[in-house]
Structure 1
Amino acid sequence: MNINDYILTEIKALVPQDTVASAHDLCRNYPITHFPVIDTNKLIGSFSEEDIQTIENKEDTINEHRFLLNHFYADTKTPLLELIALFAENDCNIIPVLDKDQNYIGYYELRDILDVFADSPFMHKDNDTLIVAKTKADFSMSQISQIVESNNAKLLGLYVSKESPDNVQVTLKISSDDMNEIIQTFRRYDYSILTIHEDDTYLEELKDRANYLRKYLDM
C-alpha cells in the first residue's frame, strides 16, 4: 500500500486573486471543510468553509482575508497515523500535500485515509484488541512487546490511547491462539485489563465466586 496513490487533484486550489464568491461556489459544489490556497504553486494556507461563509462582501479577494488562512499540510513521506492525527487536530476532511520541493501537488481526503487504515492489519477483524493500563512511572513499551511475544503471539500494533498525569492506557492489536495466557501475564505484571474477553479465565473465576457468594447469602 502506497499512501501517495490517494493524493487527489479533483478540486482545483484557490489563488489569492480569486474572489470570495468563487470560494462560495466551491463550498456549494464540494462538501469539504477547507480549500487549499496556492500562489505560484506554493501553498499559502487553507481557507475554511466556516470562514468563507462569514465574509459579507463576496467581491473581496481571498488575498484581502489572508489572515484567516489555516496553516497545515502533509508531505509525500507523512505516515498514515500522522495523517489521521493531522485530520483530527485541524478538524478537517482534506489535507494539502506538498512534494519534496514544497510545491503543492494535491490533497488527501479523510474518507480515503480512514479506508486505508481500516484495511490495514492493525484493524483486521481476525485479530484481538486488548486495552491495558498501568501507572506512568512503570509503563514500558518494550515490556508490553515482551509480554505478548513471550506467549507465542504476534503484536501487530499498539498506540497510547489515553494518558493522565498518573496512568497510561495502551491499545494493542494481537494475533494469538490463546489470549487468556497473555491477559493473565499482563495481570502478573500489574497491568489493568480494560477490555472484556470471553476466554478470560480470571473473569470467569470472579463470576463463579460471585455466584457462590450470592447463593450463600440467600441461604
Structure 2
Amino acid sequence: MRAVNLISHAVPFLRVQDTVRQALQLMTDFHITHLPVVQDDKYLGLVEENALLDIADEDTPLGETGLAWNRAAIGEEEHFLAVLRLWKKTRLSVIPVINRDIELQGVITATELLLALDEYTAAEEPGGLIVLSIEPRNFSLSEIGRLAESNDATIVHVATQKDPTTGMLSVSIKLNRNDIQDILATFQRYEYTIETYFGDNLSEDDLRSNYAHLMNYLNI
C-alpha cells in the first residue's frame, strides 16, 4: 500500500497568491488545521491555522506573510507504514504527498490513514486475537505460524511491540478463527506466555480480565 493510493482528492491546496482569509475558511470547511501551499505546482510547505490566526490583515496573500512553512511531506512511492511513522512524529492534520520533482500530488488525511490502518491490521476481519510475551531472542514467526496451523488456523496479521521497561516483546497475532481454545492450549504446552486473548467460548470473568490486560498492553 503506497502513499499515493491513500490520497484524499477532496482536500484542496493553496497557492501563494491566496489570502489568509481563504486559507482559514478552507481549514474550517474541511475540519483540518494544515493545508499545503504550492507555486507553479511545486510544493512549498504546509501553512498552519494557529500561525494564520496571528496575522492581523486576513487579506494578506500567503506569499507575503513571512511565515516559515512546515516542509514535512512523504514521497508518493513510500509505504503506508512510512506515512504512519511521519504522522506519529508530526501529528499533522494532513500529510502532503509529493513526487520526485517536489510536485504536490495531494494530501492524506487522518481519516484515510485510519482506514488504511484498519485494512492493514485486518481489524474488521472475523477471528480471535492472542497476545504473546516473548523474549526477543526467542521470537520465531515460523514456529508461531506452525503452531497455529497445527490447529487448522491461519495467522492473518502479526504486530510486535517491545516493552522498554522489561525488554520483552509483545506479539499480537490475529487468527482466522474465533474459537481459539485449542490454539491457546498449544501455545501454553510449548511454554509461551499469553498476555491476553479474545475469541469465542470465554466466560464473563475471562472477558473482563482480558479486557483489563489489553488496556494495559495498549498503554505500554
Which category describes the TM-score, using the shorter chain as reference length? Answer: 0.7 to 0.9
CA distance in 1, matches of 2:162, 2:85: 14
User: Is 1:167 aligned to 2:168, yes or no?
Assistant: yes
Between the aligned residues of both structures, percent identity stands at: 21
> Are 2:89 and 1:89 aligned?
yes
Contact 1:183 1:200 (C-alpha < 8 Å) held by counterparts: no
- What amino acid is the match of 2:185? Q
Q: Which runs of 5+ in 2 are unaligned?
A: 207-220
CA distance in 1 between partners of 2:163 and 2:42 (Å): 38
Deviation of 1:183 after TM superposition, in Å, equals 1.7
Residues of 1 paired with 2:66 and 2:193: CA distance? 52
Q: Which residue of 2 aligns with 1:212?
A: none
In the other structure, the counterpart of 1:77 is: 77
CA shift, 1:121, in A, is 7.4
Q: CA RMSD in A?
A: 3.3
Tell me: CA distance 1:52–1:146, structure 2 relative to 1, closer, same or farther (3 Å). Answer: farther
Report the counterpart of residue 191 of structure 1 in structure 2.
Answer: 193
Q: Distance in 1 between matches of 2:185 and 2:14?
A: 57
State which drifts further: 148-157 or 73-82. 73-82
Aligned AA for 1:194?
Answer: T
Aligned to 1:40: 40
User: Does the 8 A contact of 1:9 with 1:105 survive in 2?
Assistant: no
User: Does structure 1 retain, via aligned residues, the 8 Å contact 2:75–2:97?
Assistant: yes
- SS of 2:44's partner is strand
Amino acid at match of 2:58: K
Give the number of the structure with larger relative contact order, counting CA–CA contacts within 8 Å between residues 6 or more apart: 2
- Whether the 8 Å CA contact 1:179–1:200 is kept in 2: the answer is no
- Structure 1 counterpart of 2:180: 179
**Gap change, CA 1:40 and 1:125, over 3 Å in 2:** same
What SS does the corresponding residue of 1:123 show, helix, strand or coil?
Answer: coil
Distance 1:52 1:144 in 2: 52
Which structure's CA Rg is the greater one? 1
Distance (Å, rounded) in 2 between the aligned partners of 1:29 and 1:196: 40
Change (3 A) 1:8 1:126: closer
Deviates more, 1:15-24 or 1:154-163: 15-24
Cα 1:27–1:177 shift into 2, 3 Å: closer
Q: Take 2:28 and 2:198, find their aligned partners in 1: how far apart are those partners? A: 46
TM-score between both structures, scaled by the size of structure 1: 0.72
Whether the 8 Å CA contact 1:183–1:193 is kept in 2: the answer is no
* Shift, 1:36, TM fit: 0.6
Q: CA deviation at 1:174?
A: 0.9
Q: Measure, in 1, the Cα distance between the counterparts of 2:54 and 2:191.
A: 55
**Separation (CA, whole Å) in 1 of partners of 2:81 and 2:128:** 20
What TM-score results when the alignment is normalised by the length of structure 2? Answer: 0.72
Displacement of 1:142 in angstroms is 3.9
CA distance in 1, matches of 2:187, 2:71: 43
